[in-house]
Chain A
Amino acid sequence: MMVADFAVFLVDDDPAVLKALKRLVEAKGYHAETFTSSTEFLSGNDPSVAGCAVVDVAMPGLDGLSLQRALASQADTRPIIFVSAAATLANGIEAMRAGAVDFLEKPVDGKELLAAIERAAARDRTTRREESARKEIRARVDRLTRREFEVLTYVVAGRLNKQIAFALGTVEKTIKVHRSRMMAKMGVHTVADLVRMTEKINLRPHGWRFVGDEGPTRHN
């Protein structure tokens, strides 16, 4: 079984543990890289490379949970699997709340670790697929004119053409033109598809206001 397109980044201050874990994941066909500290890992981390991190909780310097926070602050969604020799419930809860794939106790069973890595790989694939889909949607929204974008926010709010025309101080015919161009640029045929698409990038329909909002905004 080869899964070389998915990397496993191992972070542990104990070289013997690193060496053994590297062997194990490599024997399963993953590409493995080892780091003896959180800072070493963070400085070499390329978020665009698909992979997960297997991180020891207690390390000198930056510990595992701090590493998780550092990745989160960089909006890096790389899945993390924690392994800990001195697991506390509080540590485990904090790690899982912050989105860890799993929190395994050392000595960690190879099967469990490999299963967690598989889950991490699945999650990483989904996140990357979703992220690239979002990117595409945002790119399409960016191609809209200001008027087309305004029409879009009214359409996803369920407004009829004449209501939109009234709100924008123009005639229904003009709105129809904007609307069909907008639908074409967004690559959809139905309003339902458009709604699903805009939801993915958290675009707010017109009239959905929250405290502090300044009307419809583009999400970039």
Chain B
Amino acid sequence: MLRSSCGGSRHDEEQRALHAAAASVGFWRRVGTSRTFWVSEYGRRLLGLPLRGGVTQDAILAATHPADAQRIRSVFAADVEQPEGRLVEFRVVHPGGEQCWILSRSCRRRGKGADSFDVSGILVDITACKAEEEAEMESLRRDLAHLMRVSQASELSSGLAHELTQPLTAILANAQAARLMLASKPCDRSAVMEVVDDIVQEAQRAGEVIKRLRALLKKSDGVSEVIDVNALCESTIALLHAEAVTRGITLASTLGPTLPMIEGDSVQLQQVLLNLLMNAIEAIQSMPAARRVVVVRTRSLGQAGIEISVEDRGPGIDVTDRARLFEPFFTTKERGLGVGLSICAAIIHRHGGALELKANAFGGTTAYVRLATQSKKGAPS
């Protein structure tokens, strides 16, 4: 059907265009290296072009989404140079600002003259398919990120058990002490009151641990909220406190005093932080005591937003590995899956920020996360 639609008289073209429009297909044709196109009315609608008048290559490029324009320009050039038909997916932005995904399928035919040829093709609106695909990808991404959080939580579980045990130890000892105090004569009521106050405080501390764990295991709903980055850093460091103590590691932080709030998904951002911190901890695991230090820093970048950095004094990243760091399933760890950094990078990217790893003065690695203070997009999905 496609082949038969190439070429033919103007009348035929209009007939075919009519059929095509009925089937929600736009139709276009370009003769030789001409910079103007014939585009059917439905095709013009799809591209968001005026329904009357000539259609130039530049007009099509102007309608194309800026991110896809370069690709489409090279497709125009390739149409002239290479004889094969092609399949192109690209976005256009309609005058109303509405974005639309278009699929163009084209073929090239030799004309009557020696060098003459024409290219013609169809345009199909695939916005709905793309949205569905994107939603599916998004849900897969979210599931993968959630799975990673669960595995992180299980990795941290012994440390978290320790974090819970400390307040429980204090509560139990306080309660048993209070019992002994109440049994003794004379009984010092104010001393017992003090013990009870401590019990309350320690119970609240245990509650905080549970809350942090819950936040970690929560399935992200992708809802954007206002986040205090320093508080996020502090709670993440608290999650890792026991882990660091048992591994003989010092976790230090220097948090910027006047940090503006940012917008984003706190569950996802905490996951990134946790991942970078775990990487840092693993990197310094077999280092001498003086180098078993991880420092978290936050600072304001003014207009550019904020920066979180995680600095370790590990052995650094091998030059050959550096290029592949963000590649999915690339790992240097014996038991690693190689998805951590690629998920982190994806999360930060969706927040409109950047994730970068650099060698530092201590011979180790520093991970930098830069985030805009006000995300231009609505909710990062």
A interface vs B, CB < 8 Å? 13-14, 16-17, 19-21, 23-24, 26-28, 58-60, 63, 83, 85-86, 106-111, 113
Can you pick out 16 interface pairs between chain A and chain B where the beta carbons lie within 8 Å of each other?
A16-B166, A16-B202, A19-B198, A20-B171, A20-B177, A23-B173, A23-B174, A23-B195, A24-B177, A26-B177, A60-B248, A85-B242, A106-B169, A110-B176, A110-B177, A113-B173
- Contact partner of A58 among B167, B173, B198, B245, CB < 8 A? B245
A23 and B195 CA atoms in complex are apart in Å by: 9
- Contact partner of B170 among A19, A60, A113, CB < 8 A? A19
Whether the pair B180, A108 counts as a contact (CB closer than 8 A) is: no
A107 and B206 CA atoms in complex are apart in Å by: 12
Q: Which residues of B contact A26 (CB under 8 A)?
A: 177
Whether the pair A106, B165 counts as a contact (CB closer than 8 A) is: yes
Q: Assuming the A-B contacts A17-B173, A110-B173, are A58 and B162 also in contact, with contact meaning beta carbons closer than 8 angstroms in the complex? A: yes
Known: A86-B246, A106-B165, A113-B173. 13 other contacts (CB 8 A): A20-B198, A24-B180, A27-B181, A27-B184, A28-B180, A60-B250, A83-B169, A85-B161, A107-B168, A107-B172, A107-B173, A108-B169, A111-B176
- Contact partner of A17 among B169, B177, B180, B246, CB < 8 A? B169
Q: Which of B159, B174, B198 has most chain A Cβ within 10 Å?
A: B174
How close is A82's CB to chain B, nearest CB, in angstroms?
13
How close is A58's CB to chain B, nearest CB, in angstroms?
5
- Contact partner of A85 among B166, B181, B184, B201, CB < 8 A? B166
Q: Assuming the A-B contacts A21-B173, A86-B162, are A16 and B198 also in contact, with contact meaning beta carbons closer than 8 angstroms in the complex? A: yes
Q: Which residues of B contact A86 (CB under 8 A)?
A: 158-159, 161-162, 165, 242, 246
A21 and B171 CA atoms in complex are apart in Å by: 10
How close is A66's CB to chain B, nearest CB, in angstroms?
10
Number of interface residues of B (CB under 8 A): 29
Asked whether B205 is an interface residue with its Cβ less than 8 Å from the other chain, the reply is yes
Q: Assuming the A-B contacts A24-B177, A28-B180, A86-B161, are A106 and B246 also in contact, with contact meaning beta carbons closer than 8 angstroms in the complex? A: no
Q: Which residues of A contact B246 (CB under 8 A)?
A: 58, 86
How close is B208's CB to chain A, nearest CB, in angstroms?
13
Q: Which residues of A contact B195 (CB under 8 A)?
A: 23
Instruction: Convert B240-253 into 0s and 1s, putting 1 for each residue whose CB lies closer than 8 angstroms to a CB of A.
Output: 00100110101000
- Contact partner of A106 among B166, B177, B198, B250, CB < 8 A? B166
How close is B177's CB to chain A, nearest CB, in angstroms?
4
Please provide the chain B residues from 4 to 26 with a CB less than 8 Å away from any CB of chain A in the complex. none
Please provide the chain B residues from 133 to 190 with a CB less than 8 Å away from any CB of chain A in the complex. 158-159, 161-162, 165-174, 176-177, 180-181, 184
How close is A193's CB to chain B, nearest CB, in angstroms?
46
Whether the pair A107, B245 counts as a contact (CB closer than 8 A) is: no
A14 and B248 CA atoms in complex are apart in Å by: 16
Whether the pair A60, B173 counts as a contact (CB closer than 8 A) is: no
A20 and B201 CA atoms in complex are apart in Å by: 12
- Chain A residue with the shortest CB-CB distance to B247: A58
Q: Which residues of B contact A14 (CB under 8 A)?
A: 166, 169-170
